[in-house]
Structure 1
């Protein structure tokens, strides 16, 4: 029997891995990569003793313009391979369209876009596995403006992998042949929506976003919309998701400029057909100076023993501060405040007062509106007590900062 058996075509050795790199040479640095710092990074007269490097740590990305036939495409390039001594690159694609930008009045589009990303990742499993073995990675995510694709790894085959992912954006084979997989991804996303706010800290943080950003919707609203969405509606959504679309690309690392330009002209023009899109703006609720607001909501999980609180301070918004050196300086100061506050905050509220293990402070950026938050998750105290302890700490911390010397 075995002597008469014929070879089975379904049993064969794996195909050669086309993503394995063979060229690990490094690009030479650009001639002007070590030029002077832009004005926003020069030494400030306010902090004469602050050590600011006179040379760029990393050169600024260059806007290469638009390849022929893709006038709406912005192409950025950053050569920093020699700086880090790695034959690696990262590529980001930002694809924008009003068709699926964040919109509280059309939650259905938002959940369909999230489902689209899940199905796209599922359809790419067989492609991404050999790429991962070659130390290449690529994935897509849904954003407030549309879609984002990011690839990283050895530079020689990275653009090839991104091209394969872009060629799969239409999901033609997936929608026609993988109905069972579609329903599996839909159920998994429904489970994610239902469990989204089970953890008090996540629930608390998302409530802040819900109050500040009118376009944000609750997970239960997403669940309801997704439960009513079937395969025919999803297929109709996919057919329109890529047209029209605006595209912006940044390649950083060891990718040659000429290779990026030729790839963008050939691949993006044929895959995406980019066209100019209006700038997507998102409204942010402005909190009046000197006012305070308290929002209380029960935990989603009735058996949850933890309480979470987040105290948020909003700084001047986009209309009150231009996107210039002043705003950059403010962001740096907020990050510095976060670093200075972390240790004493944890020592006081966590170690000494034993309020809870999760204690911290963080800078918040809500579509360009800066803020600062202090949060505590506790199983031993209720939110009113936690608020009193946070306010007492902040009062003492401010007094401590004012008494500190310049050193």
Structure 2
């Protein structure tokens, strides 16, 4: 299992950078170690040196597993007396070795080394250019009441006027910027704190990465000269306090885990608040940290495939190719001097989006249990539900702008996604103040329309919604922005396609859903090139004919909620659709046989394989959907036990209930490694599991059946812990145009009517001669697949899938080598909604 985790972690740029950064620590520091572990370090090397790993593990356990090192948090609806009784019964036997707690105080400042203060060029797995600047600082946890790193990161990461990112975007050098400390064990511990600034660069930004770094340093110098600003600190304090006092209820398991960690770090009176609230303004503490962020004490990591010819070194564990060099003399000399400030960089202005009115509105219509349609016109409709359960001054606004233009061709899908990305780019600066004031928005390029999601404190939420619609109405772009966004979209598509799990999903969807354009179709079309005129024409067509469907839930009146649709119609001035636009795809009717589609992964440096066996059921009822859910629930534990624990095929092993555009099915998925397992053997093991599970189903007792039914009913009857859960469920009904808002109640009713024979018979139907099975294999690189040593990464472009023929293991399957031609021969199932 440890080696599997290691193999899955290898093709991740964040993990690679972290390991490379750790290798720069002083000798003897824990962060210099290889902290992932794999078969070599835990099996092969110990065997050579006659080291007993089990004994070493027991020694570690005896030293570190001790009650006086631990904190315990228990959350329950039971009484305190009951909880105290349980705690004593369950935890009193934990040993206490009486040893002093390990202290790492002598290991501070591990990155004050010549190796750290250099430029590292790294070849990434993803197709990306990025520059990371990092400083190793003294540990900052003790300053949690002031939160100096949070104050600095809030300013450095700001995206409004006068910010670093605003300036870099205007130069077309950057797409995104993150600054701060991730509060992970690597970035924040008792020996040091890391402060890093990571900039996602454009192609042009990569060519000017030293200038990008200089802009960052100019901003930091401006902050140092001005010193901490009390207005800014109090603004951050107000925003965090608003969010804390009106936060959604956390999942209990997450909440107790968070409190346990807090108890190790904070004073007793701050256990509940220390990780979120700014409690003391101490400018001298902030200034000390700010003044340590000087250019000559920074580490630089430049990620780009363009550096391939310069990267002659290889990190031992992850095989990361990199090079190391001194900072260019021109820039090091400049940064050592009293360089000029940049007049375009300044502190943000006062934030107009911070909520101050938290009153709950009175209802202006009868309360309802589910959303009701309060406005219905030829242009669209609005569903509405006033929140009278959670009673918080927040709201959710969601709109779906449906257009038949999007799925007309691969080109139209790419143009639509380009349009949405440019719209998001245009909004980034003007909407950023709303974002930091805990008003969240997201623009999603849906399969059939533009989805606008807005949520947060209702006081200023209409301002944000109107800002988005105004930018949509007045949409414009320059050729430079168009080029920057399309180049980034190429990288986005590429980075999705090199992930085996995403490629498997794309291939399965391409086979099953008729008329859907796959990610590789879109990537190939984008690589052929697009023109600004095509985008202008598409956007004009998109905005001319629409159907708009919305949902408003929370602390708004029905009158206010109608106003959101009216504003969209007023600003966009669109015509109604002449015909209704389906919001789902037709699904192919798979033949009664076992199909196999086997493709090679698109990253030569990735040994991970994804094997999914999908069984199509068909157009089914809600009762049959609950049967499938129950079947998959019965499968979960034996699937894990058989395929992972006993067969050790991979770390991720799971069955899934599938609803593909209204067509029911289930699947079993295994993520494995080509260095260990052949994908077709894994497929055979999945078949073995299903035979084993078939035997278990025959022996299923009435008691076991009823236990699982009760468990699934309990899950469906579980109350929503925050408003967003209810909104998500209602929005799914609207997006799919099914409108069965009380679906859970219907599902519970269906579950109560099921018998054991229903479940057993249901499984046998899908395992009989009439079964419709589709195996999707995305095959990694490794010796079990006939490959030589795994290479680093695929740095070229992707133009087509590489289809692999079946071996003797699966010679009896029907092999798909041309998806389009194969699916053209299949019948299409009618549009269907599970109700």
Provide closer, same or farther for how the CA distance between residues 238 and 331 of structure 1 changes in structure 2, counting only shifts above 3 A: same
Q: Say yes or no: does 1:74 pair with 2:381.
A: yes
Answering whether residue 615 of structure 2 is matched by residue 313 of structure 1, we say yes
- Greater shift, 107-116 or 292-301, is seen at 292-301
The whole-number CA distance in structure 2 between the counterparts of 1:144 and 1:267 is: 20
Matching residue of 2:370: 60
Match of 1:335 in 2: 629
State the partner residue of 1:364: 658
Show structure 2 runs of 5+ residues with no match. Answer: 1-341, 708-835
Q: Name the structure 2 match of 1:385.
A: 681
| TM-score, structure 2 normalization | 0.40
Unaligned runs of 5+ in 1: 1-7, 35-58, 322-326
1:213 aligns with 2:507: no
Q: CA deviation at 1:188?
A: 0.9
The verdict on how the C-alpha distance between 1:153 and 1:363 changes in structure 2, with shifts beyond 3 A counting, is same
Question: Is the aligned partner of 1:86 residue 2:392?
Answer: yes
> Are 2:632 and 2:657, in contact at CA under 8 Å, matched by a contact in 1?
yes
Structure number with higher relative contact order (C-alpha < 8 Å, ≥ 6 residues apart): 1
- Inter-CA distance 65–31: structure 2 relative to 1 (3 Å threshold): closer
State which of 632, 643, 646 in structure 2 corresponds to 1:352.
Answer: 646
**Residues 273 and 209 of structure 1: CA distance in aligned 2, closer, same or farther (over 3 Å):** same
Is 1:181 equivalent to 2:478 in the alignment?
no
1:65 and 1:74 in contact (8 A); partners too: yes
- Which of 531, 541, 555 is the equivalent residue of 1:240? 541
Residues 30, 79 of structure 1: 8 Å contact kept: no
Between 1:118-127 and 1:334-343, the stretch displaced more is 334-343
Q: Could you state the TM-score of these two structures normalised by the residue count of structure 1?
A: 0.80
* Residues in 2 aligned to 1:375 and 1:77: alpha-carbon distance in whole angstroms: 39
Task: Report if the CA contact (8 A) 1:77-1:257 is conserved.
Answer: yes
Residue 99 (structure 1) shift: 1.9
Corresponding residue of 2:603: 301
**CA deviations over 1:84-138 (Å, ceiling 9, x no partner):** 23222111111111122x23xx211110001111111111111221111111111
Query: Which one has a larger percent helix, Structure 1 or Structure 2?
Result: 2
Which structure 2 residues correspond to residues 264-279 of structure 1 after superposition, within 5 A? 264-273=565-574, 275-276=576-577, 277-279=579-581
Match for 1:135 among 414, 438, 445? 438
Deviations 1:205-256 (A, max 9, x none): 2211111013233434322322320223222222222111111111122221
Superposed CA deviations along residues 258-305 of structure 1, whole A, max 9, x for unmatched, are: 1112343244333353514423252210124x4221222222223432
User: Any conservation in 1 of the 2:611–2:670 contact (CA below 8 Å)?
Assistant: yes
Q: Aligned partners of 2:632 and 2:392: how far apart in 1?
A: 32
Partner of residue 26, structure 1: 360
Structure 1 residues 189-204: aligned runs within 5 Å: 189-204=489-504
SS of residue in 1 equivalent to 2:401: strand
What's the secondary structure of 2:429's corresponding residue?
A: helix
Is contact 2:398–2:452 with CA below 8 Å preserved after alignment? yes
Query: Does 2:402 align with 1:96?
Result: yes
CA separation of 1:344 and 1:87: change in aligned 2, threshold 3 A:
farther
1:73 and 1:274 in contact (8 A); partners too: no
Please tell me the root mean square deviation across aligned C-alpha atoms, in Å: 2.5
1:284 aligned partner: 587
Kept in 2: contact 1:27–1:79 (CA 8 A): no
**Correspondence 1:121 to 2:424:** yes
Distance 2:604 2:415 in 1: 30
8 Å Cα contact 1:200-1:306 kept in structure 2: yes
Aligned partner of 1:254 in structure 2 is 555
How far apart, in 2, do the equivalents of 1:137 and 1:306 lie?
A: 35
Aligned length: 357
Sort the Cα spacing of 1:95 and 1:263 in 2 relative to 1 into closer, same or farther, 3 A: closer
Per-residue CA deviation, residues 299-350 of structure 1 (Å, 9 max, x unaligned), is: 2223432222101111222xxx4xxxxx333333333333332233223211
Could you tell me whether the CA contact under 8 Å between 1:245 and 1:272 is conserved in 2?
no
Partner SS state of residue 544, structure 2: coil
Q: Summarize deviations over 1:142-173 as a string: whole Å, max 9, x none.
A: 1221211111111222232112111111454x
Instruction: For residue 312 of structure 1, give the secondary structure of its aligned residue in structure 2.
Output: strand
SS in 2 for 1:287: coil
